[in-house]
Amino acid sequence: MKKILVFAAITLLAGCSTQASRMADCQSQGISKDTCYMADQNRQTAIQSAALKQAMENASAQYAQATKKIVHARIKGIDIKIFPADKQGYIEGTAAYLDEDNADAQVYRKGIFTAIYYKRTHKLVLMRDGQIYGRTPI
C-alpha cells in the first residue's frame, strides 16, 4: 500500500519543476543566463495574469448574480418589489424609501405602508398604519 502511495506522489510531482531546474534546462540548451531569466519571468507573469483575469471574471459573475436577486411578492393585493443589493424598494410600483438597513432586515416605507424584508429568514412583512397587514415567505 505504501508503495502505491509513494508512486502516486512521485507521479503527481513529476510535472512540477522549480525555477532553478527550468534555468538549468534553458542554459543547457546554450541560451544565456539573462535570456533564460527573462523567459522564466515572462512565464510567471503570464501565469499570474491568467489567474488575475479568472479571478476578476469570477467576481464579476458573483456580483451579477447578487444584483439580479429580486424579492417580489403580492400581499392582500399590494404589490411589493425589493432589490436588496441595490437597496431599492417599490410598493405598488412607486419607489419606497429605505428607512432602516441592518444585518437582519431592510425596512421600506411609502405612505401608510411599511415593508420589512428579513434577509436571514427570507420573509416579507407588510404593515399598514403600524399594524401587520400580511406576511409571506419568499
107 within domain boundaries: yes
**What are the pLDDT digits (tens) for 70-129?**
889 999 999 999 998 889 999 999 999 999 999 899 999 999 999 999 988 889 999 999
Whether residues 43 and 76 share a domain: the answer is: no
Res 66: pLDDT: 58
3 within domain boundaries: no
Whether residues 51 and 80 share a domain: the answer is: no
Start-to-end CA distance of the chain, whole Å, equals: 53
Whether residues 102 and 130 share a domain: the answer is: yes
Whether residues 38 and 80 share a domain: the answer is: no
pTM, rounded to two decimals: 0.52
The answer to whether residue 58 scores a pLDDT higher than 90 is no
Res 101: pLDDT: 93
Give the domain extent around 129: 69-137
29 within domain boundaries: yes
Contact 109, 94 (CB under 8 A): no
11 within domain boundaries: no
Separation of alpha carbons 5 and 85, rounded Å: 48
Whether residues 73 and 125 share a domain: the answer is: yes
pLDDT band at 67 (very low <50, low <70, confident <90, very high): low
Res 7: pLDDT: 52
Res 104: pLDDT: 92
pLDDT band at 27 (very low <50, low <70, confident <90, very high): confident
Res 4: pLDDT: 59
List Cβ neighbours of 100 (8 Å cut-off, separation of 6 or more).
106, 107
| Total structural domains within the chain | 2
Q: What is the dihedral of CA 132, 136, 137, 138, to 10 degrees?
A: -120
Q: How far is CA 44 from CA 30, 37, 41, 104, in A?
A: 22, 11, 5, 44
Whether residues 33 and 52 share a domain: the answer is: yes
